[in-house]
Amino acid sequence: MEELEQHGIVFATSKDYHFDTVAIDVKASGFTSADFLLAEFHKYGINIRKIDNNTVSVAFDELVTLYDLDQVIEVFINLKKG
């Protein structure tokens, strides 16, 4: 979460009190819409969840690898760079 925060991603989930899911405030993070993020992540074969038009979440289970995690972070950072 820290790394993404440094790149301007704003979380809707508490940094200290969460389990396996983090939600992201779409507009505050500088993205146009939740649908836009869903479509971008789809290109990489990653399913993220649309909670509402301004919130998406990413959930992790035990099958997620560090490679997958890197990819999620990379997609966010690349989108921020435009």
Partner 1 sequence: MLENPKWYTPYTPYQPEIAQGRLESLLTFQTAIVELTGLPVANASLLDEASCAAEAVQMSYGVHNGKRTKYFVSESIFPQTIDVVRTKCDALGIQLVVGKLENFDHNQAKEFAGLMVQNPDNLGNLADHTELGAKLKENKVLFTICADILSLNLVKPPGEMNADIAVGSAQRMGIPMAYGGPHPGYFAADAKLQRKMPGRVIGQSIDRHGNLALRMALQTREQHIRRDKATSNICTAQALLANMAAFYMQWHGPAGLRKIARKCHFMA
Interacting residues with partner 1 (CB under 8 A) = 12-14, 17-23, 51, 55, 57-62, 64, 69
Minimum CB distance to partner 1, residue 29 (Å): 14
Cα–Cα distance, 37 to 60 (Å, whole number): 17
| Cα dihedral 50, 67, 32, 23 sign | positive
Which residue has tokens 């500088």?
A: 30
> Hey, what are 23's tokens?
């939600």
Specify the residue, 15 or 81, whose C-beta has the smaller distance to partner 1: 15
In angstroms, the CA 57 to CA 11 distance is: 9
Shortest Cβ distance from residue 8 to partner 1 (Å)?
Answer: 19
**Of 52 and 82, which has the nearer Cβ to partner 1?**
52
The SS3 of residue 23 is strand
Closest approach of Cβ 81 to partner 1, in Å?
24
Pick between residue 19 and residue 81 the one whose CB is nearest to partner 1: 19
